[in-house]
Amino acid sequence: MCFSAEASFTAAAALLSMGSFAVRKAYKTNRNLVPLATLPMLFGFQQLFEGLVWTGGAVSSAAMVERYSLAYMFFSWLAWPIWVPFSVYFLEPCRRRHVYLLFAILGGIVGAMQYFPYFAHDGWLVTKFLSNSISYQGTVLFDYIMQREYTYMIYLFVIIAPLLTSSNRRAQIFGILISFVAATTYLFFQFAYISVFCFGGALMSLYIIYMILSEPDPALSANASI
């Protein structure tokens, strides 16, 4: 995330605490919502790792910066393009689910091809500390066959398309919010695109917490009908 380690740790604490409460609520009210309810917690862990990247930079520890940058990019490249369509999969009727399973598989392929080469090629992931921001740069595998903009387009498609095409209205709203974050990041924050986009996604995941907490409790509804 941009700004500072303190801001990253604050975001992580808020998302992990509120996200865990949302997961418990989803488990009690509608278990099909549990994967989606987990998203804020995952964003919380990602922000925690970015706080540790900031900390590594502050103490001039290259090993710490590299370690936690890799942890951060695990979520950026691999977790989001798999987990988002996987979450939508459980919201859909059986006749539509295979489409979202294909999205998750495609996301896994795209993400793995970008993430795992970091472990085989030194220097492919470069973390730069800018003024109040972190820029994750370097080389990705698709750079050898297409421009980086097309890689980002495929990445965003795998994440946003399942949300926008979901039959669940609130999932669609979340998709619109993520689309807004992607557009804003592209227009104003290209110098730190990955960090800003993921932080924006973390903020938008607060909507998921609201969505889950506003779900009616079946036990209360049953008692009210007696």
Rounded average pLDDT per 10-residue block, the chain, 226 residues: 82 96 94 96 97 96 97 96 97 94 96 94 93 89 91 95 96 97 91 90 95 77 48
Quick one: pLDDT at residue 4?
86
31, 42 Cβ separation under 8 angstroms = no
Q: Indicate the pTM of the whole model.
A: 0.91
3-state SS track over 106-147: HHHHHHHHHHCHHHHCCCCEEEEEECCEEEEEECCHHHHCCC
69, 134 Cβ separation under 8 angstroms = no
- Specify the DSSP class assigned to residue 189: -
Of 204, 142, 206, 153, the C-alpha closest to 175 is 204
Range 86-101 burial, b when 16+ CB lie within 10 A, else e:
bbbbbbbeeeeeeebe
Quick one: pLDDT at residue 17?
96
88, 171 Cβ separation under 8 angstroms = yes
Other CB atoms closer than 10 Å to residue 66's CB: what's the count?
A: 17
Alpha-carbon separation of residue 119 from 8, 112, 190, 193 (angstroms) = 25, 11, 25, 22
> Look-up: residue for tokens 């066959």?
145
Quick one: pLDDT at residue 188?
87
Quick one: pLDDT at residue 2?
59
Quick one: pLDDT at residue 70?
97
